[in-house]
Amino acid sequence: MSAPATAPPVTAERTGRRIEEVLDRLAASGDGAAAAAAEELVRSLMDLYGTGLARVVDVLDSAPGEPLAALLDDDLVASLLVLHDLHPEDRDTRIARALDGVRDHRLEVVGFEEHTGTLRLRARAGGGCGCGSGADAARAAETALAGLAPEVRAVDVESAPAGPTLLQIGTAPTGAR
């Protein structure tokens, strides 16, 4: 039994060559639209990674104490770490971190259904006028979770249980007895 072949290490040169080969094949196929779309995709990815790496450098350069904590607080860097399965926090911690950033809605996690990827949330009572919609809260949560918890494919927001009814006590109308 022979040892399994290992992939060559990833290097910038090898990766650049591979990208050029794929783009050249697409250009040679005669499908100009596909070749142009592939080149745009590569440019977009390079912009994303370049911006993320620039932030890594900036954060490390300016972080006095805990550079990893500072990196995890940066949305772009954290999403790149998640994308490459390098984020040190578990799913539940990443979900909590993302929901902490949803300022307009007070949300608490009810549960996560792994088989469907559905995160069930409850709008917490208290504060605000109670007029925000569940759809708005779900959209805000989905946006916050997109980069930090790609395991979440759907968000379901339940309304908070109604609190006790407030009884208004006032004076009797004039002349009533």
Co-location of 62 and 31 in the same domain: yes
64 falls within a domain: yes
> What's the pLDDT at 149?
92
Co-location of 44 and 100 in the same domain: no
Contact 129, 93 (CB under 8 A): no
Distances (CA, A) of 76 to 13, 32, 49, 135: 25, 32, 9, 25
80 falls within a domain: no
Co-location of 139 and 100 in the same domain: yes
Tens place of pLDDT for every residue, the chain, 177 residues? 566 677 778 777 888 889 999 999 999 999 999 999 999 999 999 888 888 888 887 888 787 888 888 888 888 888 888 888 888 999 999 999 999 888 778 889 999 999 999 999 998 765 444 445 677 888 889 988 988 999 999 999 987 666 666 666 766 666 665
33 falls within a domain: yes
Which residue in this structure is represented by tokens 């927001």?
157
83 falls within a domain: no
Co-location of 17 and 60 in the same domain: yes
1 falls within a domain: no
Co-location of 111 and 54 in the same domain: no
Co-location of 54 and 96 in the same domain: no
Total structural domains within the chain: 2
172 falls within a domain: no
3 falls within a domain: no
Co-location of 61 and 97 in the same domain: no
52 falls within a domain: yes
**Strand ordering across the sheet containing 118-123:** 107-113, 118-123, 154-158
Give me the domain span that covers residue 40. 13-69
CATH code, 149: 3.30.300
> What's the pLDDT at 153?
92
At residue 98, the 3 state secondary structure works out as helix
Pull the structure tokens for residue 128: 């605000």
> What's the pLDDT at 165?
62
Give the span between the Cα atoms of 72 and 93, in whole angstroms.
Answer: 11
